[in-house]
């Protein structure tokens, strides 16, 4: 196992660095030189706007920006729809290698006497106050805003703010720090101009026609344009007073320049965004931290299995072979009760079926992501892959649940099959539906259209449920799992337990070590979900996933052995709950993250955060519990199979 971990450690940087782009390359030529494989028009697409201060994303059209007269919407996959991505064409259109300076896009006028104008401007101000960010796309690549941060590092943000706000008490908020002219109290400053730089690889020494775009950057600016017909893009910033009393004209403009950059290959054009995210050294620290925990646990388990258990088995077998009938002690004493079916066996078997489904889904998704098939360039692919895999993996869920239920000597097989197919997915769907209602009421772009909800239900009831039934049919047809020892008819009394061998302290302790392995990685995952940072280190994530499997298994086996030595044979539920308690620590960490790292305001955003967190916690609970249970089941079956029992 250590060799496997070491091998994966070597593979991780390769996985993190290599990816397959999401779309085929597009070539661009100058105007008049177009051909079938080469075009001159560069279109800019706009995505939803989001904020770190609110969980509610909004479509570009929700704000009163310049609209495209012939709006086109590229088809979106399931993952994009579920994540609330809404991509649309924009009025920003460029011709390859044609420079533009201070070109007008549109004018928006607001009259304080008009209630529609008032509400539009109020919504725009709210967007600036909550620091909502634009996300623009050119040639399937984010248009980034790069700026210097501390230590002389350059950070490239795949979004840029609508504007910024100086509070009535003169506090400069968010992006207002970039310009000393943004200083008037109770005033909003709108970024109504963008300087766009498009960099391209000319195709020199390559065998493709025309040029290919390798980078798109912009700088948001604020200019108060006074003369619509004579735009200069100079002078004071565009101020919007906190009190809306006079008529207001907002003129949106842009400048675009082109630069040749032949040192950047098309296949590695995303690298500059990823390299500007300064976290790789922390990732290695996280891996080393996790490996230390794994080595410590592996040492403990190895010591128990090789020394203590080996001695136990030799001693027990010696006692049996000797003439003196000595009193049995330790874990051998409970051999007649250790495989006694648990209470609430139905629920446990359902959890195990669902946990198996989630485990296989997670493993395949992370493996594909590690190989680069689900890169950031392939928008929504990760979520689409996970949902489709989950739907198609109903059969293993039904099989495992039915087989375990039969092993627990359960009779109500119809209830078992229905609960496996409907219980946990039903809870997730109900939570998701409530969250969706809140998003819909708030008019957010993350609200899933009714058609998509129907499609998800159709996938669940039309594919996943029948596949679960098929798996359950084969599970019930199989023989129940044979145990190495017979179960006594009369249950044995469990002696008084010390504090540490009681169920609750053991369960609470069991979740600490697996959580210790993942909490640093968890920070980056939560950042990518709630702080809208790009997550691309799937090599590290896959490695941490493998470490989590090992840690959950070893921690559960260790505690299981201690409890059996204390003559407590109720291990079925305890083995599941020991490792699944990691999910409780995950929830506590998510609460800590909410209060210490996020600036989320508003009741709706808070409900949404905790609603989505509960889905994550439930999935994690089932997945970790299943790993712990099967590790412990294998361990208990193994140790009782090598001991001689009368």
Q: What is the pLDDT of residues 367-381, one digit of tens each?
A: 999 888 887 777 888
Whole-angstrom distance, CA of residue 357 vs CA of residue 362: 9
Q: Please give the pLDDT value at position 331.
A: 72
Q: Please give the pLDDT value at position 378.
A: 78
Q: Please give the pLDDT value at position 278.
A: 55
> Which residue stretches of 182-279 are H helix?
271-275
Q: Please give the pLDDT value at position 325.
A: 44
Residues whose CB is less than 8 angstroms from the CB of residue 344 and which lie 6 or more positions away in sequence, other chains included: 573
Q: Please give the pLDDT value at position 12.
A: 37
pTM as predicted: 0.86
307: left (phi over 0), alpha (psi -120 to 50) or beta: alpha
Q: Please give the pLDDT value at position 541.
A: 87
Whole-angstrom distance, CA of residue 596 vs CA of residue 523: 12
Whole-angstrom distance, CA of residue 343 vs CA of residue 323: 39
Taking alpha carbons only, the member of 182, 185, 164, 184 closest to residue 174 is 164
Whole-angstrom distance, CA of residue 128 vs CA of residue 134: 11
Taking alpha carbons only, the member of 149, 53, 32, 148 closest to residue 97 is 32
Q: Please give the pLDDT value at position 16.
A: 37
Q: How far is CA 375 from the centre of its chain?
A: 13
Residue 162 near residue 175, CB atoms below 8 Å: no
Residue listed under structure tokens 């294998």: 634
Whole-angstrom distance, CA of residue 542 vs CA of residue 390: 18
Bridge partners of 251, per DSSP, are 107
Taking alpha carbons only, the member of 448, 431, 446, 456 closest to residue 530 is 446
Whole-angstrom distance, CA of residue 455 vs CA of residue 79: 13
> Six-digit token pair at 341?
């079916």
238: left (phi over 0), alpha (psi -120 to 50) or beta: beta
Residues whose CB is less than 8 angstroms from the CB of residue 19 and which lie 6 or more positions away in sequence, other chains included: 270, 372, 375, 376, 377, 536
Residue 309 near residue 289, CB atoms below 8 Å: no
What average pLDDT values come out for the chain (646 residues) when binned by 10 residues? 36 37 76 85 93 90 90 84 87 92 92 91 93 93 85 81 91 86 90 94 80 92 86 88 88 94 85 67 74 81 75 71 53 80 92 96 94 79 92 95 92 92 94 93 88 92 96 91 80 73 85 86 86 78 90 90 85 93 96 90 90 95 96 91 71
Whole-angstrom distance, CA of residue 461 vs CA of residue 422: 9
Q: Please give the pLDDT value at position 277.
A: 65
Q: How far is CA 26 from the centre of its chain?
A: 30
> Six-digit token pair at 242?
């906190």
Q: Please give the pLDDT value at position 235.
A: 84
Q: Please give the pLDDT value at position 329.
A: 60
CA atoms within a 13 Å half-sphere pointing along the CA-CB vector of 183: 4
Residues whose CB is less than 8 angstroms from the CB of residue 558 and which lie 6 or more positions away in sequence, other chains included: 297, 300, 301, 304
Give the number of other CB atoms < 10 A from CB of residue 380: 18
């Amino acid at each position: 196992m250590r060799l496997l971990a070491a091998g994966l450690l070597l593979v991780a940087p390769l996985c993190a660095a290599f990816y397959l782009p999401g779309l085929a390359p597009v070539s661009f030529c100058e105007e008049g030189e177009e051909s079938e494989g080469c075009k001159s028009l560069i279109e800019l697409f706009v995505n939803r706007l989001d904020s770190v201060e609110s969980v509610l994303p909004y479509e570009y059209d929700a704000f009163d920006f310049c609209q495209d007269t012939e709006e086109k919407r590229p088809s979106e996959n399931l993952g994009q729809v579920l994540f609330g991505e809404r991509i649309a064409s924009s009025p920003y259109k460029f011709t390859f290698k044609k420079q533009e300076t201070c070109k007008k896009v549109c004018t928006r006028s607001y009259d304080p006497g008009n209630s529609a104008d008032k509400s539009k401007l109020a919504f725009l101000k709210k967007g600036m106050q909550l620091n909502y960010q634009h996300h623009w796309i050119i040639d399937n690549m984010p248009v980034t805003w790069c700026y210097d941060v501390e230590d002389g590092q350059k950070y490239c943000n795949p979004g840029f703010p609508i504007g910024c706000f100086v509070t009535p008490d003169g506090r400069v908020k968010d992006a207002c720090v970039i310009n000393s002219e943004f200083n008037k109290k109770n005033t909003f400053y709108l970024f109504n101009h963008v300087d766009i730089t498009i960099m391209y690889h000319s195709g020199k020494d390559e065998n493709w026609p025309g040029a290919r775009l390798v980078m798109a950057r912009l700088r948001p600016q604020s200019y108060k344009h006074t003369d619509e017909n004579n735009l200069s893009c100079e002078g004071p910033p565009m101020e919007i007073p906190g009190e809306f009393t006079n008529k207001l004209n907002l003129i949106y403009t842009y400048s675009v320049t082109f630069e040749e950059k032949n040192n950047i290959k098309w296949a590695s054009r995303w690298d500059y965004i990823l390299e500007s995210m300064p976290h790789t050294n922390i990732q290695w620290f996280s891996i080393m931290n996790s490996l230390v925990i794994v080595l410590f646990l592996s040492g403990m388990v190895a010591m128990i299995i090789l020394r203590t258990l080996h001695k136990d088995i030799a001693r027990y077998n010696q006692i049996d072979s000797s003439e003196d009938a000595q009193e049995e002690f330790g874990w051998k004493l409970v051999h007649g009760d250790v495989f006694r079916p648990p209470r609430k066996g139905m629920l446990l078997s359902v959890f195990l079926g669902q946990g198996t489904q989630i485990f296989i889904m997670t493993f395949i998704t992370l493996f594909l992501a590690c190989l680069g098939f689900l890169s950031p360039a392939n928008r929504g692919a990760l979520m689409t892959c996970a949902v489709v895999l989950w739907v198609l993996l109903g059969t293993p869920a039904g099989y495992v649940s039915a087989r375990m239920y039969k092993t627990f000597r359960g009779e109500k097989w119809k209830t078992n099959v229905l609960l496996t197919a409907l219980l946990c997915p039903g809870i997730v769907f109900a939570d998701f539906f409530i969250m969706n209602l809140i998003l819909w009421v708030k008019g957010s772009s993350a609200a899933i259209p009714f058609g998509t909800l129907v499609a998800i239900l159709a996938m669940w009831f039309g594919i996943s449920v029948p596949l679960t039934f098929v798996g359950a049919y084969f599970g019930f047809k199989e023989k129940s799992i044979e145990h190495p020892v017979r179960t006594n008819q009369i249950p044995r009394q469990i002696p008084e337990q010390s504090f540490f061998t009681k169920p609750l302290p053991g369960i609470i302790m069991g979740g600490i070590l697996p959580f210790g392995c993942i909490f640093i990685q968890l920070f980056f995952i939560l950042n990518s979900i709630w702080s809208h940072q790009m997550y691309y280190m799937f090599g590290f994530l896959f490695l941490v996933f493998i470490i989590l499997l090992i840690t959950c298994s070893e921690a559960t086996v260790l505690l299981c052995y201690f409890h059996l030595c204390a003559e407590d044979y109720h291990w079925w539920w305890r083995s599941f709950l020991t490792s699944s308690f990691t999910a409780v620590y995950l929830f506590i960490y998510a609460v800590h993250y909410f209060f210490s790292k996020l600036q989320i305001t508003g009741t709706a955003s808070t409900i949404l955060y905790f609603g989505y967190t509960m889905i994550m916690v439930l999935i994690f609970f089932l997945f970790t519990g299943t790993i712990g249970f099967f590790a412990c089941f294998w361990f208990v079956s193994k140790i009782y199979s090598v001991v001689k029992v009368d």
